[in-house]
Structure 1
Amino acid sequence: MGHTATAQDATGGLSATEHRLANGLRVVLSEDHLTPVAAVCLWYDVGSRHEVKGRTGLAHLFEHLMFQGSASVPGNGHFELVQGAGGSLNGTTSFERTNYFETMPAHQLELALWLEADRMGSLLTALDEESMENQRDVVKNERRQRYDNVPYGTAFERLTALAYPEGHPYHHTPIGSMADLDAASLEDARNFFRTYYAPNNAVLSVVGDIDPELTLAWIEKYFGSIPSHDGKQPPRDGSLPETMGGQLREEIAEDVPARALMAAYRLPHDGTRECDAADLALTVLGGGESSRLHNRLVRRDQTAVAAGFGLLRLAGAPSLGWLDVKTSGGVDVPRIEAAVDEELARFAAEGPTAEEMERAQAQLEREWLDRLGTVAGRADELCRYAVLFGDPQLALTAVGRVLDVTAEEVQAVAAARLRPDNRAVLVYEPLAQGADGDPEETDAAEAAAGQHDDTEKAAQ
């Protein structure tokens, strides 16, 4: 067994220890004896950014195949064993990673570890044409149900294609295209698995009511004999200029319940102080009912029924600020757009008030603490920081970094980035005006999180 390290977050008392097996698997453990449960989270360093042209959607297809049975667990056995033991489970795919997770009663932890190790070590022996065909159809059906056949369902895909140029590793989204899913062969899938589903390309975190020594012994027992693999190429460079240098625009006439304005602004990479400042800016501007855009468009002008701004954090490419406004009645989009630009220009000129800053920081702090306060949320964040930034301990100090950002930094990132010449815009025009009232909620915002949950839409 390799090195072991430990650290503790002075503010919250949360701590984590790090270990590495001889085959390269990184392990992060965090004890929490508040409730008798344990979360297992496994991040593989592979997402849609690792895919090549003509084979998009393989990362997401593989997430499905991982639930199709392995050498010792045929068919739907993974679900049956976890749920039969009182646990819950899921898997998601993003631009930058694929993750699998279980939350178990603490005395069933060994079962979850064995299951994850079995499919990491032996999925190839169970992967055949039948399971491949089966899951190809499931993914295509998911695409129809959640993207192609719902109002605004393809918005995220369209905006991503606008915001990241052709040939950029983030130009396509994790769901993949129908044509590429049809073109993927069993041999493509096997090569993909060999390359990316190796222990040295993964981080395993276990959080909760655990005995660290016993847990580590189980991990060594079940994962230790899985061979490493050295064939992985680094993802293609995702860097771009700080701003788009002009506005990109697409107008769509579709069967949607109301006109809509959506936009993606190019923002700083995740893991930077500037990205935290951008998060605070978007929170002040569009994070909930106390935000400036909600107050202006929904409350004051009554031109919109919903107005929000969210941040899609990305480490390997510029992040995206995601604006989503659903209009009220027959209001024209140019009127909404002018009001949005006016609010953004005012914010860039004046910055946030002290009260807005305090409220936004409190809001993000609460979201972070809620996430770190659950065993599953903490396990996921420890994996995220280990995979994307090389250091799981950064998860435990993230709150402090948000609280350290100044109003001047928030104003600066807004002035530099939240401008008309740094956005991709999508305008929806209904084919036939529907009834007044709230537009139907769709998965566009969930897709903006860059992930696709395949068992029980549990978006983080």
Structure 2
Amino acid sequence: MPMGHTATAQAGSGGLTATEHRLANGLRVVLSEDHLTPVAAVCLWYDVGSRHEVKGRTGLAHLFEHLMFQGSGQVKGNGHFELVQGAGGSLNGTTSFERTNYFETMPTHQVELALWLEADRMGSLLAALDEESMENQRDVVKNERRQRYDNVPYGTAFEKLTALSYPEGHPYHHTPIGSMADLDAATLEDARAFFRTYYAPNNAVLSVVGDIDPEQTLAWIEKYFGSIPSHDGKQPPRDGTLPEIIGEQLREVVHEEVPARALMAAYRLPHDGTRACDAADLALTVLGGGESSRLHNRLVRRDRTAVAAGFGLLRLAGAPSLGWLDVKTSGGVEVETIEAAVDEELARFAAEGPTPEEMERAQAQLEREWLDRLGTVAGRADELCRYAVLFGDPQLALTAVGRVLDVTAEEARAAAAAALRPDNRAVLVYEPIEPADEAAEGEEGEEGTDAHEGAAK
């Protein structure tokens, strides 16, 4: 709808509110006024991630995250960074399975600059995209892969467990870093077609949070983004649904130069945005969220068979989420010993559920994490975009805390009983090998560095 005919809604979480608007070209805008400090965050989410990629062209979403910092119609080379940092701001971008985002935190009086910069690259990146910038950023992504995946102990775990958890052909089978062979094969025209399809205003959500004048901010957004044409060529992502249970234990043993044996596992869990996912989050927090958790107490404190043990949750909206177990063994402890203890603790939790004290502690922990996130202008801007892009309603970000506190102990127990079982996991075992000779190691260490720190997160 036109800017003059805005839709507005409000919801609260500790007094936080957000208003929603839509430009004529389809750009969704979410504003949240907060005059606590003289700063504001500008956050732009594009509804494109690695799940939108097709076979043979993986890695384009992440490559574009880098290309967006290589200049646009009126901003040459590294100018985006130079202008934001010169104005006292900070900035970055990240890529995930489900979205690509770009964000700046600026002093209040420099918000207009951030909006102009984001609009310039949304509207005119193709004017600056050439073979040189493609080659440059192709190399940067390859270096990023070497630094974050290939040359880091346990660095390939995420990629390997994802490939095990989601079958061949599934849109989440490959990670956002992409295949290096596919990156080499990508042409300039592939990149241009990708940009035209996904970097359109009707495929994006823009949030501005902090010390802003909403009326003035909307006027700037209309001025800079309003003339960018929409694009209707986008296909919906391929279906990512799968059975609730994998049905067998999938297993891979990796022999690499790592400091110690490790047991990692991914359990298939409910989709993000559901009460069942929140229940699973609480179960994982009791079991493996920090040093007061059951697995830490059992493996690190009591048995002393591990130096670290934890559970995390990878929330996904378009596919089953993953419960992420990570245990690093101590000394020469066998993985079988760790695995037996983990299964014992999971079975006990599935049978008995959390104690009232554990439930209270886990809910307080998740509540604090949420309020810390919503308490910063950058964190709130990101969450407003996330709920708008993935679930159609930014207001859900402001009521997320209440949903976590509403989950019962029985729901947390039932979530664990349904999913945290041996026939519903992909397992990765790391076995250390002796280091290669020094000459080989020296060659691997010769790497470039990122133009920015945006990760394939």
TM-score (norm 1): 0.94
Q: How far is 1:9 from its partner?
A: 3.6
CA contact (8 A) 2:352 2:413 kept: yes
CA gap of 1:163–1:447, structure 2 versus 1, over 3 A, is farther
Residue by residue, what CA displacement relative to the aligned partner does 1:203-239 show, whole Å, maximum 9, x if unpaired? 0000000000000000000000000000000000000
Residue by residue, what CA displacement relative to the aligned partner does 1:276-299 show, whole Å, maximum 9, x if unpaired? 000000000000000000000000
In structure 1, how many angstroms separate the alpha carbons of the residues matched to 2:225 and 2:448? 42
Aligned residue in 2 for 1:434: 442
In structure 1, how many angstroms separate the alpha carbons of the residues matched to 2:451 and 2:125? 32
Q: How far is 1:177 from its partner?
A: 1.1
Q: How far is 1:448 from its partner?
A: 11
SS at match of 1:5: coil
Q: How many residues align?
A: 449
CA contact (8 A) 2:279 2:412 kept: yes
In structure 2, how many angstroms separate the alpha carbons of the residues matched to 1:441 and 1:367? 35
CA contact (8 A) 2:140 2:449 kept: no
User: Structure 1: which 5+ runs fail to align?
Assistant: 450-459
CA contact (8 A) 1:48 1:170 kept: yes
What RMSD in Å do the two structures reach over aligned CA positions? 3.6
In structure 2, how many angstroms separate the alpha carbons of the residues matched to 1:330 and 1:53? 41
CA gap of 1:447–1:221, structure 2 versus 1, over 3 A, is closer
In structure 2, how many angstroms separate the alpha carbons of the residues matched to 1:127 and 1:435? 32
SS at match of 2:44: strand
SS at match of 2:326: strand
SS at match of 1:320: strand
In structure 2, how many angstroms separate the alpha carbons of the residues matched to 1:374 and 1:343? 36
> Relative to structure 2, which stretch is displaced further, 428-437 or 182-191?
428-437
Aligned residue in 2 for 1:447: 454
CA contact (8 A) 2:12 2:398 kept: no
CA gap of 1:163–1:116, structure 2 versus 1, over 3 A, is same
Q: How far is 1:436 from its partner?
A: 25
CA contact (8 A) 2:140 2:451 kept: no
Q: How far is 1:4 from its partner?
A: 2.8
Identity value in percent: 91
Q: How far is 1:13 from its partner?
A: 0.6
SS at match of 1:448: coil
CA contact (8 A) 1:153 1:442 kept: no
Residue by residue, what CA displacement relative to the aligned partner does 1:233-257 show, whole Å, maximum 9, x if unpaired? 0000000000100100000110000
CA contact (8 A) 2:260 2:431 kept: yes
User: Structure 2: which 5+ runs fail to align?
Assistant: 434-439
In structure 2, how many angstroms separate the alpha carbons of the residues matched to 1:192 and 1:26? 21
In structure 2, how many angstroms separate the alpha carbons of the residues matched to 1:180 and 1:332? 38
Residue by residue, what CA displacement relative to the aligned partner does 1:153-200 show, whole Å, maximum 9, x if unpaired? 000000000000000000000001111111111000000000000000
CA contact (8 A) 1:328 1:436 kept: no
> Relative to structure 2, which stretch is displaced further, 8-17 or 234-243?
8-17
CA contact (8 A) 2:143 2:450 kept: no
Residue by residue, what CA displacement relative to the aligned partner does 1:116-175 show, whole Å, maximum 9, x if unpaired? 000000000100000000000000010001101111000000000000000000000000
CA gap of 1:284–1:417, structure 2 versus 1, over 3 A, is same
CA contact (8 A) 1:18 1:29 kept: yes
CA contact (8 A) 1:381 1:395 kept: yes
Q: How far is 1:442 from its partner?
A: 17
Q: How far is 1:76 from its partner?
A: 0.1
In structure 2, how many angstroms separate the alpha carbons of the residues matched to 1:412 and 1:266? 14
Residue by residue, what CA displacement relative to the aligned partner does 1:50-94 show, whole Å, maximum 9, x if unpaired? 000111000000000000000100000000000000000000000
TM-score (norm 2): 0.94
Q: Does residue 1:373 correspond to 2:380, yes or no?
A: no
Q: How far is 1:49 from its partner?
A: 0.0
Q: How far is 1:435 from its partner?
A: 24
In structure 2, how many angstroms separate the alpha carbons of the residues matched to 1:199 and 1:252? 44
Alignment map for 1:92-171 (pairs within 5 Å) = 92-171=94-173
In structure 2, how many angstroms separate the alpha carbons of the residues matched to 1:74 and 1:445? 16
Aligned residue in 1 for 2:437: none
CA contact (8 A) 1:153 1:443 kept: no
SS at match of 1:29: strand
> Relative to structure 2, which stretch is displaced further, 10-19 or 410-419?
10-19
In structure 2, how many angstroms separate the alpha carbons of the residues matched to 1:321 and 1:444? 32
CA contact (8 A) 1:91 1:101 kept: yes
CA contact (8 A) 2:140 2:450 kept: no
CA contact (8 A) 1:260 1:324 kept: yes
In structure 2, how many angstroms separate the alpha carbons of the residues matched to 1:41 and 1:109? 11
Residue by residue, what CA displacement relative to the aligned partner does 1:307-353 show, whole Å, maximum 9, x if unpaired? 01000000000000000000001000000000000000000000001
